[in-house]
Amino acid sequence: MTDQIVISMKDVSFSYNAVPTLENVSLLVKDREFVSVVGPNGGGKTTLLKLLLGLLKPDKGDIRIFGKTPFQVRHQVGYMPQYIQFDPKFPMTVMDVVLMGRLGTRWGGPYSREDKKAALDAIELVGLADLTRQLLSSLSGGQRQRILLARALASNPELLLLDEPTANVDIIIGGKLFEILRQLNKRMAILIVSHDLGFVSQVVQKVMCVNKRVVIHPTSTISGEIIQEIYGCEMQMVRHDHSHSEENMTCGGD
């Protein structure tokens, strides 16, 4: 890990129709840090991602990615949405989907040999190289999630932003996804929105608690009291991995 600042937000605020969503947010994410973003629905997690992607502009404050505006470095950022909306009758293959991740790195025309190699490398990285020509509609939910991750990786990003990557997948598929992310974290910073603290506690170094304002905690300091304060309701402590120490006990809701 280096001391390079990957994400910098200073006194950032944003409102929808004059209703504050984020207020005076300041944070730093360094090279190869793995940060989890948690908080209640409506607390501003998705808004935070959209600001980092340059899809929204703050009402006030400054956002820098690698020292530049989000728009200037969009080709250096990989984004994985929670799910993909598509017409299951449309004959879209796995390769078609992953090649979409190359659109921000090129100036039009047919995909080049370099584009196709980058897409193939990304598909292989998520362990689905044998499904390149399969129709997206024929894949399971877990396979589609990994294909979305491959699409995000096709541009060879230096920062990865993920929105609920384990939503609607079982614990085994979720574990596979996080093992892939653990390996990717050796060469890039990762910021992940997730309600599942049991999964993210295994790999993240920091937890970013978002509920209009942002408070950052080291993973080891997260307690039931902190989670209750974030979500505004009683939470139950759940031990996801019995090999963990008491300090690494994680939190989950009923």
pLDDT per residue as tens digits for the range 65-85: 999 999 999 989 999 988 778
pLDDT one-digit tens code per residue, 107-151: 667 889 999 999 999 999 999 999 999 999 999 888 998 999 999
Spatial separation of the C-alpha atoms in residues 72 and 64, rounded to whole Å:
10
What is the pLDDT at residue 130?
A: 95
Lowest mean pLDDT among 46-50, 130-134, 234-238: 234-238
Average pLDDT over residues 12-33: 94
Confidence of residue 232 (pLDDT cuts 50, 70, 90): low
What is the percent of the chain with per-residue pLDDT over 90, rounded to a whole number?
52
The yes-or-no verdict on residue 33 having pLDDT over 90 is: yes
8 compared with 222, residue with greater pLDDT: 8
The yes-or-no verdict on residue 100 having pLDDT over 70 is: yes
The whole-chain average pLDDT of the chain stands at 83
The separation between CA 6 and the C-alpha centre of its own chain, rounded to angstroms, equals 14
Check: CB of residue 193 under 8 Å from CB of residue 165: no
Block residue for tokens 């991750």: 149
The yes-or-no verdict on residue 48 having pLDDT over 80 is: yes
Query: Which residues in the chain belong to E strands, given as ranges?
Result: 5-16, 19-30, 34-38, 60-65, 77-80, 159-163, 189-193, 206-211, 213-218, 236-238, 250-252
What is the pLDDT at residue 9?
A: 96
Q: Which domains occur in the chain, in start order? A: 5-86+157-252 (3.40.50.300)
Check: CB of residue 48 under 8 Å from CB of residue 7: no
Q: Which of 101, 100, 61 is nearest to 77 (CA)?
A: 101
Query: Which residues in 124-238 belong to E strands, given as ranges?
Result: 159-163, 189-193, 206-211, 213-218, 236-238
Confidence of residue 28 (pLDDT cuts 50, 70, 90): very high
CA atoms within 13 A on the CB side of 203: 25
